[in-house]
Amino acid sequence: MIILSAGINVATKVLPRRLSFLKICDVLIAYLNAGADKEYVGVSEVSEKSSVTLHNISRNNNFLKSWGFIEESEKEQGKYKLTREAAEFAYAYRIDPESDFTRQLLRNILSKEVFIPRFVERIKNEGMNRDAVLVELPRIIGDLRADKVGLNAFLDLIAYAFKIDWLYAPTKPSPPKKAEAPGGSKTVRQIVKKVKEKVPAPSGIFAEPRANISINLTVSPEVTPNLLKEYVKAMLKAYDEYFREKAEEESRD
């Protein structure tokens, strides 16, 4: 047993192991699809319906079991099924992950351990930030061997369930990267500006500039031939515009 400073006696729980919040939900949905709360299934069956590896599911079953998400078969060791509450949450999350009802279902599961709602109340009252909560969680849960990924995942579970918006930061897919300009990450506009700044001023007035230009480009793999053509056209246009503007300025003088 672990005795908290608030005087609460708490049975030791297990935190996730190298599994993010989104992956935890993925595993629960995989359990739902494999057997839900009706049929005990093996880890391999769950893995087939999930993007999480068999090894990761296996080592996180202790976490899921300790928090009442799954229960193990008494007759067939190593086979599990979702608890009724977890099956309801997994189903709701699959349909509408952002609904208040879905969050409430998870909140009901976590609130079975009375120290969780009390800790959430403290977080809100003190306005604790993410770093402060991460320091406290292992001691409060009683799992001092927790890894950083699992620790962050459990914090996201709490923040999601109890609607602590300033703490909720699950991993999301990064937005697609824009194709880089040749030789670096500069945009075409930046290249045009650079060409205007660095092209040497002509001697004399050019009504219609004509020049032989040698350009060396370092092209990244993401740049397609068509995109490369556009870059070259932009630079040549910038070169012409520079001399035209220069000529107009000198003619006014």
Q: Residue 91 pLDDT more than 50?
A: yes
H helices of 146-202, in order, are 148-161, 188-198
* Cβ count near 38 (within 10 Å): 10
Q: Residue 207 pLDDT more than 60?
A: no
DSSP state of 222: T
Helix (H) or strand (E) holding 63: helix 54-66
Answer with the residue of higher pLDDT: 173 or 112: 112
Rounded-to-integer distance, Cα 36 and Cα 95, Å: 15
For the chain, give the percent of residues with pLDDT over 90.
Answer: 60
Q: Residue 200 pLDDT more than 90?
A: no
Rounded-to-integer distance, Cα 22 and Cα 172, Å: 9
**What local confidence, expressed as pLDDT, does residue 188 receive?**
46
Contact between residue 32 and residue 24 where contact means Cβ atoms under 8 Å apart: no
Pick from 61-70, 153-162, 200-209: least confident? 200-209
Q: Residue 195 pLDDT more than 50?
A: no
* 213-252 confidence digits (pLDDT tens): 555 666 655 566 666 677 677 777 776 776 677 666 665 5
Rounded-to-integer distance, Cα 21 and Cα 118, Å: 22
Rounded-to-integer distance, Cα 117 and Cα 125, Å: 12
Pick from 90-104, 133-147, 160-174, 232-246: least confident? 232-246
Structure tokens at 108: 């009901």
**What local confidence, expressed as pLDDT, does residue 129 receive?**
94
Pick from 9-18, 24-33, 164-173, 183-192: least confident? 183-192
**What local confidence, expressed as pLDDT, does residue 234 receive?**
74
In sequence order, what are the beta bridge partners of 150? none
Q: Which part of the chain has CATH 1.10.10.10?
A: 2-161
Q: Residue 205 pLDDT more than 60?
A: no
Band the pLDDT of 62: cuts 50, 70, 90: very high
* 97-138 confidence digits (pLDDT tens): 999 999 999 999 999 999 999 999 999 999 999 999 999 999
Rounded-to-integer distance, Cα 206 and Cα 250, Å: 9
- What is the rounded average pLDDT for all residues in the chain? 80
Work out the angle at residue 68's Cα, subtended by the Cα atoms of residues 67 and 72, and round it to the nearest 5 degrees.
Answer: 115
Structure tokens at 63: 């976490």
Helix (H) or strand (E) holding 133: helix 130-141
Identity of the residue numbered 32: L
Is pTM, for the whole model, over 0.85?
no
Rounded-to-integer distance, Cα 187 and Cα 181, Å: 6
CATH of domain 2-161: 1.10.10.10
- Calculate mean pLDDT across residues 181-199: 49
Exposure of 49 by Cβ count < 10 A (0-12 exposed, 13-18 middle, 19+ buried)? middle
3-state secondary structure of 52: coil
Band the pLDDT of 163: cuts 50, 70, 90: very high
- Calculate mean pLDDT across residues 148-175: 83
- Phi, psi for residue 172 in degrees, rounded to 5: -120, 155
**What local confidence, expressed as pLDDT, does residue 87 receive?**
97
